[in-house]
Structure 1
Amino acid sequence: MVTFLIKLSICWGFFALLYIALLRKETFFQANRLYLLGTLILGLFIAAVPGEKIPEPIYVASFTEIALPVFTVGMEQAEKAAAGLASWNWLELIYWAGFSLVMLRISWGLILLIRTLRAGRSERLSDGTRVIYTGKTAKPYSFYQWIFLPEQFSETSSSLILAHERAHVRGKHSVDVLLLEVLSAIFWFHPFIYWYKRSIRTVHEYLADAAASGQTDKKQYGLLLIGQSQMGSPAVFANHFYQSPLKQRLVMLTKKSSAPYRALKFGLLLPLSFLFVLLFRQAPAIAQAVEEANQIPAVGFENPESTPQFPGGKEALANYLNSHLKYPLAVHPGENTARVSVNFDVTKSGDVSNVKATVVNGLKNIESSIANIEKVFAAMPKWTPASKNGELMTVSTNLNLLLQVSNEKSSKTSSADPEFPGGNEAMGKFLMKNVKYPESAKKENAEGVVVVAFVVQEDGSLSDIQEATGRKDLHADLVKEAIRVVSIMPKWKPGVVDGKTVKTKFTLPIKFTLDNETAKDISDIDKMPEYPGGFNALVAFMGDNIKYPEAPKKANITGTVLVSFIVETDGKLSNFEALKSPHPDLSAEAIRVMKLMPAFSPGMKDGKAVRVKMTLPVKFAL
């Protein structure tokens, strides 16, 4: 909302400056009215539409650091520390109080107008306008098709006033006024809404004065304005005959009409406004491009601390695919399975994008289902995105599908795929420990994804290890390194079909990438440190001890605090550091609670306790 208001202020301010500099003193009243109304709405639209951004860098999902799961601190925990008005957002209270007062003023004005309408004597004019004679001393005004006219005016004055107010009715100025009143209630705190309100109402009076003064001498009409300008108080919704500012109206009344060539100013406004909108929308992308241009690239791996997760985990993902994928039913002799490699990105918001499915091997007619596979992936529910240093990041990832077709016309993903001992996380650690970026590839800035195909035998050993795609653009040393690492893997858990272990062909994509960070040394441990009682006990401890600090709560500040710490060999915690925090009080509270934690069971390496650096993301939410 703050960003929206800043953008709105810039837009309205720019359009107001153009009007003051080029149009305010011209007598093109109807064009000025359209400009003011148009830019009022255009500013809202521009502020609401997000600016263009350069696509953010895509990182490789892999396992590089040990990070505990995120624990969310919500209002349930915060209310243990404070209750009542302390938990209210005072800025929100002030806004709604101001909104309510403005709406009460508008409602009261409408009530008074309805009372006057019912109490007065009505007369219908030839154009359908109704004149309501109020029978009391007050200012004449109009609202939609009604003209409210006090009976104390002379016949000459009444005819001029009627001409003025009928111009308001014909121009449907009440529609403008009603729009302005609604926006002034929503943006009651914004100074530009009052500038627009005053400027548009002034233009209304210029239009009505021009129509009425054409029926008499302008001097006589001006004297009528001066003589009656002090009467009564105006109604909220109405267009008034004696609407301020009187001096400006008299100046415009006597001013010579603007020369036609001065209308060329409106031609200048169009390119200026278009250029402003273009620059305004491109500003984030321009700033990002400048920032990236100043960065000096270096060699290394860029990896998130946590990989993206499908909601509910791997089992839920398998169920989703089983229920949505449709496979071809035609079976080729000796072929009843197909392996499909699906590459896709999981964005910072958890959306799946850039889906590309490729047939690795198997059924020759599986290509007919590629479009369906890509569509199913693109329609997935939001994932939990990857993160690094407390910030969400877009990650490119890969998923291999083993599709099986039977003669009974049923199809499913294999429920017993081959598996690296310990699962994907263990395989990620194995690859991070053993993959070495070839120096020759570094020097040539060579990158790419090497898809390694191999057969998992019935006993779990790997054979027939080779690059699967046959791509000629891959650096030869990258291919050699990927094959080398796969060849030294331990035995896998073999695939199972109908309760029997079988040979299974498998593919493993290994992505080599160079970026702007050097490679990091990762703690090489056999057993991770653990909070006493496990993660559920950690959640309970956080819920009992953490308090939402008052300052960020009142300012409606939320976000994730990423705390780095070391589990010593005796299990005690030390070296607390907030790597990322939206507010100092939030990081202070997270560290305070972590210092209260009991000793962990320490990390182990070769049977010995070792110091292990860990990170804990703590999410504060209101």
Structure 2
Amino acid sequence: MLVPIFKMILCSSLLIGIYYLFLQREKMFRFNRFYLLFALVFSYVIPFVKINLPAVSQQKDQLIFDEIPTQQLIQNANQTSQFDWMNFILIASVLVSIVLIIKSVISIKKIIELKGIDINYQNQKVKLIEKNLPPFSFWNKIYLNKSYFENQIIDNRIFQHEKTHIVQKHSLDILFLEILRVISWFNPALYFYKKAMTDNHEFLADESIIQQKNNVKDYQQLILSEILQTQNLSLTHQFNYNNTKKRFIMMTTKKSKFERTKKLFVVSAFAGLSFLFVQKVYASEIETVTQPIPTEIAGNNFKKLDTIPHRIEGKNNVKLKNSKKVKTPPAPKEFKENELPIPPPPPPAVNAKPAEFPEGINALRKDFSQNFDSSAFGKKDGVLKTSIYISIDENGKTTDIKAEGPNQAFNDEAVRSMKISTADKVWKPATEDGKESATVFKFPITMNFQ
């Protein structure tokens, strides 16, 4: 999950960088508006898109599974559990998002609750407010102080400027950006998108006034007189000082002869970034083989341990909790002819059931085979083996996945593939004496590179 999020941030940063380098000074405001909106949608979608590509080689590899994976019940799981940083980060992110939602709701509430009189002016909703604020628009309504409504008339330049924001639905752009900011507040590129988007909205509104044959200098003087007043309402469009210089420049800027070239460059950039940030899955010809377990050990596939086994200093032995030395059993007693030995007592019945993958073990093998990318390995690797340990809690949730084998790259790919295969899947938990219990699912695999 972290990789797509990182790609999302990087992609959105690159696209806003392209905007500031090549597009912000161009007098193609409608195209720029589309670019900013599409760049956001593109950045947030493309990292999660998967494309299947043909295999990079013609080799047919064998992926071998043991017929019966082993499991190990975990006792005293609460004593051995470690602090889950991922859950902590997730909870912290949700809390920040909730705070941002509350702030946005408060901002909207402040706008709606402004005291004033609602009127209909030239088929447009207008609210004449008592508070001394410069004109602004939000959603489908224009807000301005009563002093602007002299002799039942509003300055047409102010009225048309704010009406343009409403007609072109600029508030939707801001609200869309606000939603992204709530769910991905950690993306610093969104600050630059909001600034670019707000500037572009003002350019579009100014363009509508200039096209009505209004005197440019008089209109600029009107803007200067309005920016002396201030307001602290977010999510709105209003006259403000921060982008005044840019607006004045764009009012007199001529269209560039390189507009078409820059548009073609932007299209090419999207195509290149699509291939760069999409999740590429290389198809590999993998032959799946199920390797039977010998009869004498097939039944012993469910063991009970106090802790999960860990490799110690590269050795293959595992250390059990409270382990004791075991003495060599005495030699068996010799019996006389026609004297039969007393049979040993039957082993105690273990009332335990292993955890089960939702669609069964074969479905897990199939998903794992499809997600496994063998393109990084070849004939030189020969036969590679690893054992995947899947920790499953008493609720059937996968809590940890590790792999132990001599080849670290093979281990990493096995873990990656298994995480994808088990993502959002809830196992049927293991049970012991009728109670759900945490378990470790051991999944040995062997890959034969021919």
Are positions 1:70 and 2:71 aligned together? yes
In the other structure, the counterpart of 2:130 is 135
Q: Distance in 1 between matches of 2:34 and 2:384?
A: 61
Cα distance change on mapping 1:304 and 1:29 into 2, 3 Å: same
Are positions 1:198 and 2:195 aligned together? yes
- Within-5 A mapping of 1:441-456: none
Greater shift after overlay, 262-271 or 273-282?
A: 273-282
**1:120 and 1:135 in contact (8 A); partners too:** yes
In the other structure, the counterpart of 1:617 is 442
Matched letter for residue 401 of structure 2: G
- Within-5 A mapping of 1:538-617: 558-562=400-404, 580=411, 617=442
Matched letter for residue 145 of structure 1: N
Matched letter for residue 90 of structure 1: F
Cα distance change on mapping 1:580 and 1:141 into 2, 3 Å: same
Cα distance change on mapping 1:150 and 1:520 into 2, 3 Å: closer
In the other structure, the counterpart of 2:104 is 106
**What secondary structure does 1:222 align onto?**
helix
- Residues 193-226 of structure 1 show CA distances to partners (whole Å, capped at 9, x for unaligned) of 2221221111001111222344532222223322
Q: Distance in 2 between matches of 1:62 and 1:33?
A: 54
Cα distance change on mapping 1:91 and 1:62 into 2, 3 Å: closer
**2:230 and 2:240 in contact (8 A); partners too:** no
Matched letter for residue 14 of structure 1: L
**2:227 and 2:240 in contact (8 A); partners too:** yes
Q: Distance in 1 between matches of 2:235 and 2:276?
A: 37
In the other structure, the counterpart of 1:383 is 362
**1:69 and 1:617 in contact (8 A); partners too:** yes
Aligned length: 332
Are positions 1:59 and 2:62 aligned together? yes
Q: Give the deviation of 1:55 after TM superposition.
A: 4.8
Greater length-normalized contact order (CA 8 Å, ≥ 6 residues apart):
2
Q: Distance in 1 between matches of 2:10 and 2:292?
A: 39
**2:48 and 2:278 in contact (8 A); partners too:** no
**2:47 and 2:277 in contact (8 A); partners too:** no
Matched letter for residue 221 of structure 1: Y
Q: Give the deviation of 1:231 after TM superposition.
A: 2.4
In the other structure, the counterpart of 2:48 is 48
**Structure 2 stretches lacking a partner, 5+ long:** 299-358, 372-377, 386-390, 417-440, 445-450
**2:133 and 2:230 in contact (8 A); partners too:** yes
**Structure 1 stretches lacking a partner, 5+ long:** 293-301, 314-379, 396-513, 522-541, 547-555, 565-576, 584-615
- Within-5 A mapping of 1:137-536: 137-153=132-148, 158-213=155-210, 214=212, 216-242=214-240, 244-253=242-251, 255-259=252-256, 262-281=259-278, 285=282, 383=362, 385-386=364-365, 392-393=368-369, 515-518=379-382
**What secondary structure does 1:121 align onto?**
strand
- Residues 588-616 of structure 1 show CA distances to partners (whole Å, capped at 9, x for unaligned) of xxxxxxxxxxxxxxxxxxxxxxxxxxxx9
Q: Give the deviation of 1:252 after TM superposition.
A: 1.6
- Residues 204-256 of structure 1 show CA distances to partners (whole Å, capped at 9, x for unaligned) of 01111222344532222223322322423242322223273222222222x32
**What secondary structure does 2:112 align onto?**
helix
**1:561 and 1:580 in contact (8 A); partners too:** yes
In the other structure, the counterpart of 1:124 is 120
**2:226 and 2:239 in contact (8 A); partners too:** no
Cα distance change on mapping 1:91 and 1:178 into 2, 3 Å: same
**1:138 and 1:232 in contact (8 A); partners too:** yes
**What secondary structure does 1:70 align onto?**
strand
**What secondary structure does 2:175 align onto?**
helix
Q: Give the deviation of 1:103 after TM superposition.
A: 0.3
- Residues 352-400 of structure 1 show CA distances to partners (whole Å, capped at 9, x for unaligned) of xxxxxxxxxxxxxxxxxxxxxxxxxxxx86625459xxx95469xxxxx
**2:26 and 2:256 in contact (8 A); partners too:** no
**1:306 and 1:386 in contact (8 A); partners too:** no
Cα distance change on mapping 1:121 and 1:87 into 2, 3 Å: same
Matched letter for residue 121 of structure 1: I
Q: Distance in 2 between matches of 1:139 and 1:185?
A: 28
**1:202 and 1:244 in contact (8 A); partners too:** no
Q: Give the deviation of 1:59 after TM superposition.
A: 1.4
- Residues 163-211 of structure 1 show CA distances to partners (whole Å, capped at 9, x for unaligned) of 2101101111111111111111111110112221221111001111222
Runs of 4+ aligned structure 1 residues displaced above 4 Å come to 53-58, 85-88, 154-157, 282-285, 302-308, 384-387, 391-395, 514-521, 579-583
Q: Taking structure 2 as the reference length, what is the TM-score of the superposition?
A: 0.61
Q: Give the deviation of 1:16 after TM superposition.
A: 1.9
- Residues 538-584 of structure 1 show CA distances to partners (whole Å, capped at 9, x for unaligned) of xxxx99xx9xxxxxxxxx982134379xxxxxxxxxxxx9x95879x
In the other structure, the counterpart of 2:9 is 9
Q: Distance in 2 between matches of 1:392 and 1:21?
A: 44
Cα distance change on mapping 1:14 and 1:563 into 2, 3 Å: closer
Q: Distance in 2 between matches of 1:166 and 1:93?
A: 42
**What secondary structure does 1:383 align onto?**
helix
Q: Taking structure 1 as the reference length, what is the TM-score of the superposition?
A: 0.46
Q: Give the deviation of 1:71 after TM superposition.
A: 3.5
**What secondary structure does 2:146 align onto?**
coil
Q: Distance in 2 between matches of 1:181 and 1:231?
A: 25
Q: Give the deviation of 1:43 after TM superposition.
A: 1.9
The structure with the largest alpha-carbon Rg is 1
Matched letter for residue 278 of structure 1: F
**What secondary structure does 2:27 align onto?**
coil
Matched letter for residue 254 of structure 2: S
In the other structure, the counterpart of 2:27 is 27
Cα distance change on mapping 1:278 and 1:138 into 2, 3 Å: same
Q: Distance in 1 between matches of 2:45 and 2:29?
A: 24
Cα distance change on mapping 1:136 and 1:61 into 2, 3 Å: closer
Cα distance change on mapping 1:133 and 1:157 into 2, 3 Å: closer
Q: Distance in 1 between matches of 2:76 and 2:135?
A: 60
**1:164 and 1:212 in contact (8 A); partners too:** yes
Q: Distance in 1 between matches of 2:180 and 2:191?
A: 10
Cα distance change on mapping 1:275 and 1:121 into 2, 3 Å: same
Q: Distance in 1 between matches of 2:51 and 2:172?
A: 31
